[in-house]
Structure 1
Amino acid sequence: MSAGPGRAATRIPFALLRHELRLLVSIAHWTTRRTHPSGEGCAYGYARGEGALLFGLAFVCVVEAAGAAVLLREWPVAHGIALVLDVYTVLMVVGLHAASVTRPHVLTPTALRLRRAAHVDLTVPLEHIVAVRRELRTTHEPREGELDIPVAAQTTVTLELNTPIIHVSLLGRPKEVHLIRFHAQEPDRLVVALRRQHPPPRDPAPRDPAPPDAAPTDPRAPWPCDPVTL
């Protein structure tokens, strides 16, 4: 019984260190205009929604570092410590954006890989998806069996699963989910691609006509596959 807290005390720092290393690697990928290796598939980005916010936060951190340098100029040791912490903070903020850009969602013929920066990486088999829809939500309350992966406090695509899958959080906590909400820059194209890859069961009852602005779903059309812009 006493081994549980000990394992947790070891697992959590290791998970945080691994996350920060991933952010640093993402900065290297971002500066060289590469994406994180994800195998074959089509990439769908999601970073555009919060890029300005993160760069604004990085700017505030730089201003704070300049102010701290002035206030602590007569205490070189404190100034050095504050400078290291400020540089590290700016790197982590930039790393969050870099990870979001270089780790897009990836759709393959068999699965949808959902990612959020360096702390979410969830593979959803297409055979488990029973419904997919474009749905804009800006409020997300934690609920049992549901997973929200918002970007800038919003999600634009909702997946319903016929078989629950396990999501493991950044700190290693497993959670069984049957409904997933996430954000994509081009949600209409992603929804169309998902429906082409794994069309829902046919409904014998007549359906209401699609709205005029709905994306076309002609199965003969080519599979939309636009890589994320770095």
Structure 2
Amino acid sequence: MRTAAYVLVRHELRLLASLAMWLARRTHGAGGGRVFGYARGQGAMMFGFAFVCLVETLTMSVLLRDYPTVHQMVFVLDVYTIVFVVGVHAACVVRPHVLDPDVLRIRRAVHVDLRLPVDRIAAVRRELRTTHEHADGELDIPVGAQTTVTVELAEPVAHFGFFGRRRDIHLVRFHADDADSLVQALGQALAGAVTQARSAPSPRPDLPA
């Protein structure tokens, strides 16, 4: 069983890896699928927060210059905070949503990576929400406190939380920068799946002995 320490260390390593990929202008897990970003809505806020942390780091360096031990500890913590904030944004950029012919992969940084088989999706719609209430069987993945796409499932899909807790969900709300294009592309994938299912040959009946 994975311990909390293992989960946290893995999380930090993934953030650092995402930061390196962001600097290298690479994308994680896209393959040949169509990608849809979701980080644009939070970019200004994240960099604003990082700037505030930078100002705090400089201020504390001045205030604690006569206390070298405390100064070093606070400086390391402040630098780590800045790297963490930028790493979270980088993870959102390099880990976009991905739509393959058979699977919709919904992601949020390194915290959420949910795969929805297209044949289990019953409906998809463009829906802007800025408030979310917890409900059984529903998963909200907001960015900048809003979601723009709602997906309803014909069959529940298992979702595992940050520490591995399982939830069976039948509805997902998430954000995409270009929600209209994602909804249209997913709608086309659903139509294609329905057409393929209807055109599949029926099994031959068993012949009498």
Question: TM (normalized to structure 1)?
Answer: 0.82
Deviations, residues 58-96 of structure 1 (Å, cap 9, x unaligned): 001001111111111011011011111011000000001
Provide the C-alpha distance between the structure 2 equivalents of 1:125 and 1:116, rounded to a whole number of angstroms: 18
Q: 1:125 is matched with which residue: 117, 125, 129?
A: 117
Distance 1:40 1:185 in 2: 20
Tell me how far apart the structure 1 counterparts of residues 42 and 77 of structure 2 sit (CA, whole Å).
Answer: 23
**C-alpha distance in 1, partners of 2:104/2:157?**
13
* Amino acid across the alignment from 2:164: G
SS at match of 1:93: helix
For 1:59, the equivalent position in structure 2 comes to 51
| 2:8 match | 16
Residue of 74, 78, 90 corresponding to 1:86: 78
Listed as ranges, the gaps of 5+ residues in structure 2 are 196-209
C-alpha displacement of 1:153: 0.3
1:193 aligns with 2:193: no
TM superposition shift of 1:170: 1.1
- Aligned equivalents of 1:173, 1:65: Cα separation in 2: 36
Q: Which residue of 2 aligns with 1:183?
A: 175
Asked if 1:35 corresponds to 2:27, the answer is yes
Shift of 1:40: 2.0
Alignment-derived partner of residue 143 in structure 1: 135
Higher percent of residues as helix: 2
Deviation of residue 39 (structure 1)?
2.3
Number of positions where the alignment pairs a residue of Structure 1 with one of Structure 2: 194
Q: 1:155 aligns with which of 139, 147, 155?
A: 147
Given candidates 159, 165, 177, the residue that maps to 1:167 is 159
Uncovered stretches (5+) of structure 1, i.e. residues with no partner: 1-6, 203-230
Partner of 2:3, secondary structure, is helix
Between the two structures, name the one with larger relative contact order (CA 8 Å, sep ≥ 6). 1
Instruction: Tell me the SS of whatever aligns to 2:124.
Output: strand
Q: Helix, strand or coil for the counterpart of 2:5?
A: helix
RMSD, matched Cα: 1.4
User: Structure 1 stretch 36-45 or stretch 53-62: which is displaced more?
Assistant: 36-45
Q: In structure 2, give the amino acid aligned to 1:140.
A: H
Cα deviation for residue 38 of structure 1 reads 3.4
The whole-number CA distance in structure 1 between the counterparts of 2:146 and 2:194 is 29
Q: Distance in 1 between matches of 2:127 and 2:29?
A: 29
Deviation at 1:201, TM superposition (A): 7.1
Match of 1:46 in 2: 38
Partner residue in 2 for 1:205: none
| Displacement after TM superposition at 1:17 (Å) | 1.1
Identity of paired residues, percent? 56
1:73 aligned onto 2:65: yes
1:164 partner amino acid: P
